[in-house]
Amino acid sequence: MANYIMMMGTSSHVGKSILTTALCRILYRQGRRVVPFKAQNMALNSYVTRDGDEMGRAQVAQAEAAGLEPVADMNPVLLKPTGNSCSQVIIMGKPVGNMSAREYHKGYSLKAFGAVKDALARLDREYDTIVIEGAGSPAEINLKANDIVNMRVAKHLQAPVLLIADIDRGGALASLVGTLELLDEEERALVKGLVINKFRGDVTLLTPAIDFLEEKTGKPVLGVIPHIEQMGIDDEDSVSLQEKMAVPEDGDVKIAVIQTPKISNFTDFDALSHEQDVSLYYVKDSDGLGQPDVIMLPGSKNTTEDMLYLRKSGLADLILAHEAAGKPVIGICGGYQMLGELICDPEHTESENDEVEGLGLLGMKTVFAKEKLTSQVRGMCRDLPFMGQYISADDLRGYEIHMGHTEFTRAGDEHPFMITERRNAACESVEGTANGINVFGTYIHGVFDNDKFRRSVLNAVRISKGLEPLANTRNTAAEKQQAYEHLADVVEEALDMDKLFEIMGESCGNRQMADGQEAAQNVHQAGENV
């Protein structure tokens, strides 16, 4: 039976995911068999496992920090918003349908909790420590009755909880005290400690506040985590993009990523943003575009609606003018589909739109189907014509998440992207198109995580601007491991680890006691039934 620790927050975006990642790495390097877990994610930033299951990106980072291959048991329920208070519901990596918020929260969520308990039971048998992440706040009164990710999980496991507040946004003390006040007695008892996150400045100046918190709540403050700049770890959701919207003044290569309302898998561009010669920013409207060297269109959970948004916002006209000036435009997955001539949704898989005209920059037509393709892939890029250069990379790795089948309609276009392996089976599948000059797109998520390919694309842009190409000196995979190590170092130094281990050690005994009480209650009820 595993030990547990659960990370909850006073609100969204206080650092639960990052601190869960940190604990996974801290415990992993101490030799523990540690695994991350989050019962339910609501995010458009997803990943595909080796088995072809879809799960949230946050648990992928946490799994990497724990030295594990990501599996759906780490995130058994994933909600991907499609618009109009509706989400695609994914259970154990497989979509089960689209539901309105009311349908899900009032009828289905408690059924989904069965999958949550099953996943936890499997992890409990295999690992000695489970680090659990909550979602949002556990004190949302309108959601608590049907919530399956916060206190329902904690009570099911009798897991000790650390409550986290973000001091950088202000009001941290009030949010901690207020959250505890809104919990019921059993829930408050499960909160074993408080954590203040994202602190800037001299921590000794916070001593009076810590003393007040401990006296007011009766809960120990386990640590004050400093604000960490440029962690190099994937963000969980698009809330973080608000900090990346300023048009940069420097950078040899300026890249504008179009932030459509249903943007998904924006982590496709993280590796680009970490390049020394790149300034990458996100754009929501025509006023924010500026004068980029490259425009990139990301994936989308609702491609036709996002394409209509590009036209309504005026961004479509600016993208077309950018391309007409000979500047590059690149699309990934849904963004790749938008580069084509037509996007059709006859089954209304994503929206009520039968078909929508694309940007017409690539000769292709996409038709949506009800079945989603999710798989890890290996592939190659051969002689991609781009900005006067020819780019080749023989060992591309990434993954696919799409419901559209693309047909090519223009003889002059190139098809340099080939998937050679899907779900460990050999194949030959064309999954990308180029106009031969300055536009290309592909279905391969994570294509820019491939170091040689990424640098080759950037160098083609540099050469077109009259700049010297740069050598490929980065190892993205190694950098990510270094980022996990740095995060773990900072958090381990800031937290009272002795107190944390004491709290975790109590969790196993609490669970055994709860199991015994539950078994006794079941026996008693059985006797009454007889």
> DSSP labels for 287-329?
GG--S-SEEEE-EESSHHHHHHHHHHHTHHHHHHHHHHTT--E
> Are 127 and 4 a contacting pair, CB within 8 Å?
no
CA distances from 103 to 109, 141, 147 (A): 9, 18, 13
Among 161, 225, 276, 199, which residue's Cα sits nearest to residue 487?
Answer: 225
Distance CA 317, CA 286 (A): 9
* Closest to 77 (Cα-Cα) out of 51, 64, 59: 59
d(CA 116, CA 75): 8
Could you tell me whether strands 129-133 and 34-37 are parallel, antiparallel, or unpaired per DSSP bridges? parallel
**508 labelled catalytic:** no
Residues 6+ apart with CB under 8 A from 315: 258, 283, 285, 286, 289, 309
- Is 427 among the residues known to form the active site? no
Phi, psi dihedrals of residue 398, rounded to the nearest 5°: -175, -155
**86, 322, 381, 445: the active-site residue:** 445
Place of tokens 């006797």: 527
User: Catalytic one among 24, 86, 333, 381?
Assistant: 333
Which residue, among 260, 331, 315, 322, has the nearest Cα to 293 in the 3D structure?
Answer: 322
Count CB atoms within 10 A of the CB of residue 428. Answer: 9
Q: What is the biggest distance separating any 2 CA atoms in the chain, rounded to whole angstroms?
A: 86
Q: State the catalytic residues.
A: 333, 445
